[in-house]
Amino acid sequence: MTDALPTTHPLADGRTTGSRLVRALRGDRPETLPVWFMRQAGRSLPEYRELRVGTAMLDACLDPALASEITLQPVRRHGVDAGIFFSDIVVPIKLAGVDVEIVPGRGPVLGSPVRTAADVDALRPLETEALAPITEAVARTVAELGSTPLIGFAGAPFTLAAYLVEGGPSKDHIRARTMMHAEPETWARLLDWAADVSGAFLRAQVLAGASAAQLFDSWVGSLSRADYVSRVAPHSARALSHVTDLGVPRIHFGVGSGEVLADMATVGGSVGAVDAVGVDWRLPLDEAVQRVGSDVTVQGNLDPAMLSAPWPVLETHVRDVVRRGGVARAHVVNLGHGVPPETDPTVLTRVVELVHALGDGTDVGTDGTDRAAS
């Protein structure tokens, strides 16, 4: 916590300082493991589906009352240790004037892709005034959460650039990766723009009351390590630098990130650049700890597919993930990606109860049993 935060901020007035999440992110393993889920707010909840009837996704994100209520729904239902602000990674680029909509069943689609130097020159900065719906939604949410921390989030520059260049979702991001090599100066300017837009979005959430910040790189798994280190990581570091002076814990997460996980933990080549790395389901947590070292908290990494498995299978999986996470300095239990929309929400509640019953996570035996309870 620094003097840069408002005195009414939950980390400044002490509301969330001792929360399980904040303690774990700062490297202090709490007596009870913290747990939350990416995409915990959304389509898996019947109350969300009822609330969203007749409202487009981006309209919901920019309605402060609606966004706040959606953020709060899973905290009430599941008893998770944090809220994650309900928004979308393309919200800040929309607020900066980019023509983008979320098409049901497809995802973000741009009116005009960004593929030339002139296209990059035409991009406008994200003005502070445009962020008013975001700051109002966060403030409303934080007022309701009390001692439960809110996590702010933003899309990482590469993932935003991939959408901008491709014009929508893509399996291999060929156009984006081609621009990276064919027009490196244009690429660098595009990623600097994306970094500043994401950084401003993150900073607005933190100043309005978020107690942690997560940078989310959905498509980083399509990159070679060499390309990530030289052409992407410096821009992710730039995005995160927008909240450095605020002193809030920072989480860096990417999908398919195993080969660059250590680089994501020291993004931009700086130890301490992030407080935690999110690990997807492909890499066992104990191996992830070997890659990132003992100075970083790990977050993850339950396999989302297991949420639809029979409970004994899921329980064994949860215990195994917790056991492996026990070798880290601290562990925030989460999924290795987001909650699938078809998930039975009662299963998520049951997972939260199980995780909380496992104490600090360091006493779960190799056979999946809880040694402290046996």
pLDDT tens digits, 181-236:
999 999 999 999 999 999 999 999 999 999 999 999 999 999 999 999 999 999 99
CA 160 to chain centre: 14
CB-based contacts of 26, cutoff 8 Å, min separation 6: 249, 275, 297, 330
Q: How confident is the model at residue 364 (pLDDT cuts 50, 70, 90)?
A: confident
Torsion angle of the four alpha carbons 40, 49, 166, 276, in this order, in degrees rounded to the nearest 10: -10
Angle at 264 (CA atoms; ends 337, 139), nearest 5 degrees = 65
If you average pLDDT over every residue of the chain, what do you get?
Answer: 94
Q: Using N-to-C axis directions, what is the helix angle for 157-166 and 184-207, rounded to 10°?
A: 120
d(CA 358, CA 364): 7
Averaged over 289-309, what is the pLDDT? Answer: 96
Angstrom CA distances, 371 to 36, 189, 317, 336, stand at 24, 53, 16, 25
Residue 355 is predicted with a pLDDT of 98
Structure-block tokens of residue 75? 């905290």
Averaged over 10-21, what is the pLDDT? Answer: 98
d(CA 280, CA 302): 8
Q: How confident is the model at residue 72 (pLDDT cuts 50, 70, 90)?
A: very high
**DSSP bridge partners of 254:** 217
Q: How confident is the model at residue 171 (pLDDT cuts 50, 70, 90)?
A: confident
Catalytic residues: 39, 43, 52, 88, 163
Q: Taking the alpha carbons of 67, 70, 71, 76 in that order, is the dihedral positive or negative? A: positive
Q: How does pLDDT run across 309-337, given as a tens digit for each residue? A: 999 999 999 999 999 999 999 999 999 99
Q: How confident is the model at residue 371 (pLDDT cuts 50, 70, 90)?
A: low
- How many alpha carbons fall within 13 Å on the CB side of residue 116? 4
The amino acid present at 326, given as its one-letter code, is G
d(CA 226, CA 157): 17
d(CA 334, CA 220): 19
Q: Are 72 and 78 in contact (CB under 8 A)?
A: no
Averaged over 153-157, what is the pLDDT? Answer: 97
Structure-block tokens of residue 324? 């492996």
